[in-house]
Each structure stands twice: as C-alpha cells, then as structure tokens.
Amino acid sequence: MILTERSLKINPLQNFSKGFVKENPVFVLLLGLCPTLGVTTSAVNGLGMGLATTFVLVMSNTVVSLIKSLIPDKVRIPCFIVVIASFVTIVDLVMAAFAPALHAQLGLFIPLIVVNCIILGRAEAFASKNTLLSSAIDGLSMGLGFAFALTLLGGVRELLGVGALFGYKFISGDGILVFILAPGAFIALGYMIALINCLNKSE
Amino acid sequence: MEYILIIISATLVNNIVLTRFLGLCPFLGVSNRFSNALGMCGAVAFVMTLATIVTYLINTYILVPLQIGYMQTVTYILVIASLVQMVEIILKKVSPALYQALGVFLPLITTNCTILGVAILVVQKEYNLIQSVVFAIANAAGFALALILFSSIREQLDLVDVPEGMRGVPIALVIAGLLSLAFMGFAGIVH
C-alpha cells in the first residue's frame, strides 16, 4: 500500500523499471512463491511461466483500470477475480494448442495463475486507482520482473542440477541432482534472497 | 486399501506443501507462531473438504454434461470465493467460538492455492466422490503436518543467532528445503 501511494506520481520510465529490482515481486515483495518454486526446474520453464503471468497481468491490469468506475466497491474483488480467471483460461487454451510440451511441464500451475497474489494484488493496489496507460505499464513491469526472477532461479537450478542452461549442456558430468528436485528449490531461493538482502544492505 | 494408499500418497509422499509447492504463502506467512499455524490448518481442512465436494458436484453434473470444461478455472474460483464468504457468515452465527478460532484465517483462504489446486487435481486424477473427499482430507492433513512441523522449528529459531543476511525469510526457506529433503525419504513408498 505504501508502495502504491508513492508510485502514483512517478514517470513512465520509473514505473516500468521498478518491477525488476526495487519492487521485484519475488525477491523483494515475496509474492507468488508457489509457481516460483514449482516450475523453475529449468530456465525455459521459468521463462514460460513468467511470460504467461506477464500476459495475464498486463491484460487484467488494463481491463480492471478500464472498468474500475463501473464496479461497485463491495463486489470489486470477485469482479477482479473473474477478469483474471478469464485471461488465465485464454492463456491455458492457447498454450495447450501452440506449446503443448511446455503446457504439460507447467501443468497444474497454469490454472493456478488465478490465485497468484501478484495479479490480484496489482489489480487492487494499482490498477483500480490509476489510468489505463500507467496500469498497463505497471503490469508489464511487474510481470517482466516476475519472469526475470523465475528465469534467474530456473537458470541457477538448471546450472547446479544438470550443468546446463536453456537446455544447452556445457558442464559434463551429472551435477547436483537435489537442485532439480523439490528441496533444491527452497534452498536455492533462500540463498538468493539472502544474497540480495546483503547487496541491498551494503549499498 | 485403495483409500489408505491415497492417504499415504497425499500426506507423505506427495506432500502438498513440500513436494507439490502449493500453499506456500500461508506456509511462510502464518508459521511464526504455533497457535496461528493450528488455526490456519483447521480453516484449510474445513474449506478444502467442503470446496472439493462442491466443485466435484459442479464438475460432474454441470460442466461435463454441458461440455463446458474450459470454464473450469472461472467456475471453481468463483465457487471457492463464495463458499469461503458463506462459511464465514454461517460460522459467525452458528458457532462463535469456532469463528473466533478460525475467523481471521478464512478471508486469506480464497487465494490459497491449495484449495483450487486440490479441486483441479481431483478432476485430473478422475476420482469419484468418496475418493475425492478422502484425497481432500489427506491433503489437508499433509498441509497441517508440514505447517505444524515448520512452525515448531521456527519458534525455536527466535533463540538462534542467525547471520544477518539470512534472517527472516531466507533461513525459513532453507529450513523448508531441509524439511522437504526429509520428506523425500518417503518417495517410492507409493506411486
């Protein structure tokens, strides 16, 4: 909420760049951890999930910003959820048709984009109070920041786990298998957040 | 036997939090205190069982006959959201004591992905009604097991001298990773 009040009066460039580092949804705001940990077994999966979420985030922010004056205040959350769920269904069907392999990999986490707290959070905290353009930029910024974080985590896990990056194997041998499995996701993300905390402190 | 397999598989082998990565927000959010964790577990168990029954019936008797399976996500999330509201209102009237215990956690549950996740998993696994209910209860138990273990460990963490950068969420995530490692020991019991 504090972040929103501040971001009301900033220029489009700052609005766009905030999602990557300063207000990164994963590393700083700690939102949307379920898909972050669940799908990042490789950099490609992380990127796919990140871009799917970006699409939903941009579209839902745009639509919510357009219809904000039409929705009665009391039922706004259910309305936002329906808007979000519609776009998630679109992504689900499009992905099943054009990228079936990725769709199978991401599986359950595609419909679960609906309950990703970043999306509802941005609709409620930003899009319902701001103009169309800045809401769309906010969605793009947050979405790409999310995609960036997921790709980074996926890359780290893939590199440590199988010695490859984006499917291209350049370290021979087996790698540390645990980073591909469930425990590795928790541990890798824990150390990455710790690293970012330390960097922020030393600045 | 079949039900026992479902229970073991859902609580231990494919633990919903530590292996499937669902419900991490409440897992990290309310695990600071043991009593909060208990309240959250109760609310999740209650809503998960109810939501699975209702969404199962809607899927079998409305979505499938009308062949509108693609409306699943929209329907399910709306049903879950209204169900949570309804449970809140009913509990307030019928059992104020239970409402006191679970009340604060109920609104958080709409965006808890375990509920929607289990409702969708039941469809994917093609369970019948009784199997679905058993699956929901077993998953709620798995959630409770992970959350109670985790919150007990986190309470002890207050007394430990953690390096500065690791304080808070990072150390919690590493501990969750170690717990998950322990749960991997169950892999292979059930397929």
Helix (H, G, I), strand (E, B) or coil at A168: strand
**Residue B146 Cα distances to B20, B24, B80, B183, angstroms:** 12, 11, 23, 10
Q: What is the pLDDT of residue A171?
A: 76
pLDDT tens profile A110-153: 888 888 888 888 888 888 888 888 889 889 999 999 999 999 99
Mean pLDDT for chain B? 85
Residue among B74, B88, B118, B149 with most chain A CBs within 10 A, to mutate: B74
Q: What is the pLDDT of residue A87?
A: 93
Flag if A194 and B81 touch (Cβ within 8 Å): no
Of A10, A122, A129, A115, the C-alpha closest to A57 is A122
Q: What is the pLDDT of residue B134?
A: 92
Flag if A37 and B74 touch (Cβ within 8 Å): no
Given a cut of 90, is residue A55 above it in pLDDT? yes
Summarize the confidence of residues B118-133 as an average pLDDT.
Answer: 89
Helix (H, G, I), strand (E, B) or coil at B112: coil
B48 touches chain A (CB under 8 A): no
- For residue B173, the distance in angstroms to the closest alpha carbon of chain A comes to 5
Summarize the confidence of residues B141-153 as an average pLDDT.
Answer: 90
Give percent of chain A with pLDDT exceeding 70.
Answer: 95
- Would you place residue B5 in the very low, low, confident or very high pLDDT band (cuts 50, 70, 90)? confident
Q: What is the pLDDT of residue B191?
A: 61
B153 touches chain A (CB under 8 A): no
Of A4, A9, A145, A134, the C-alpha closest to A64 is A134
Q: What is the pLDDT of residue A10?
A: 61
- Would you place residue A7 in the very low, low, confident or very high pLDDT band (cuts 50, 70, 90)? very low
Flag if B184 and A183 touch (Cβ within 8 Å): yes
Pairwise pLDDT comparison (A1 vs A40), residue with the higher score? A40
Residues B177 and A184 sit within 8 Å (Cβ to Cβ):
yes
- For residue B5, the distance in angstroms to the closest alpha carbon of chain A comes to 22
Which residues of chain A neighbour B183 with C-beta distances below 8 Å?
A: 182
Exposed, middle or buried by CB within 10 Å (0-12, 13-18, 19+), for A30?
Answer: buried
**Residue A198 Cα distances to A19, A194, B142, B165, B177, angstroms:** 19, 6, 34, 5, 21
Query: Which of A78, A92, A120 has its CB closest to that of B73?
Result: A92
Q: What is the pLDDT of residue B137?
A: 93
Q: What is the pLDDT of residue B103?
A: 65
CA–CA distance, B101 with B98 (Å, rounded to integer):
5
Phi and psi, residue A76, nearest 5°:
-70, -40
CA–CA distance, B184 with A178 (Å, rounded to integer):
10
Flag if B174 and A191 touch (Cβ within 8 Å): yes
Q: What is the pLDDT of residue A151?
A: 92
Residues A113 and A52 sit within 8 Å (Cβ to Cβ):
yes
DSSP 8-state symbol, A131 = -
pLDDT tens profile B19-54: 888 888 788 877 777 877 887 888 888 889 999 999
A180 touches chain B (CB under 8 A): no
Residue B158: which residues within 8 A CB-CB, separation 6 or more?
Answer: none
Give percent of chain A with pLDDT exceeding 90.
Answer: 23
Phi and psi, residue B190, nearest 5°:
-130, 145
Q: What is the pLDDT of residue A1?
A: 39
B126 touches chain A (CB under 8 A): no
pTM above 0.90, yes or no: no
Mean pLDDT for chain A? 84
Which residues of chain A neighbour B18 with C-beta distances below 8 Å?
A: 182
- Would you place residue A97 in the very low, low, confident or very high pLDDT band (cuts 50, 70, 90)? very high
Flag if A111 and B180 touch (Cβ within 8 Å): no
How many beta-carbon pairs below 8 A join chains A and B? 116
Given a cut of 60, is residue A39 above it in pLDDT? yes
CA–CA distance, B87 with B97 (Å, rounded to integer):
14
Which residues of chain A neighbour B166 with C-beta distances below 8 Å?
A: 190, 194
Given a cut of 90, is residue B138 above it in pLDDT? yes
Q: What is the pLDDT of residue B125?
A: 87
Given a cut of 80, is residue B131 above it in pLDDT? yes
Residues A135 and A125 sit within 8 Å (Cβ to Cβ):
no
Q: At what angle do helices A182-202 and B169-183 cross, to 10 degrees?
A: 170
pLDDT tens profile B156-167: 888 888 888 888
B86 touches chain A (CB under 8 A): no
Of B142, B119, B122, the C-alpha closest to B41 is B142
pLDDT tens profile B56-115: 999 999 888 888 888 888 888 888 888 888 888 887 888 787 777 766 677 777 767 888
Tokens of B99: 């409402």
DSSP per-residue string spanning B127-162: --HHHHHHHHHHHHHHHHHHHHHHHHHHHHHTTS--
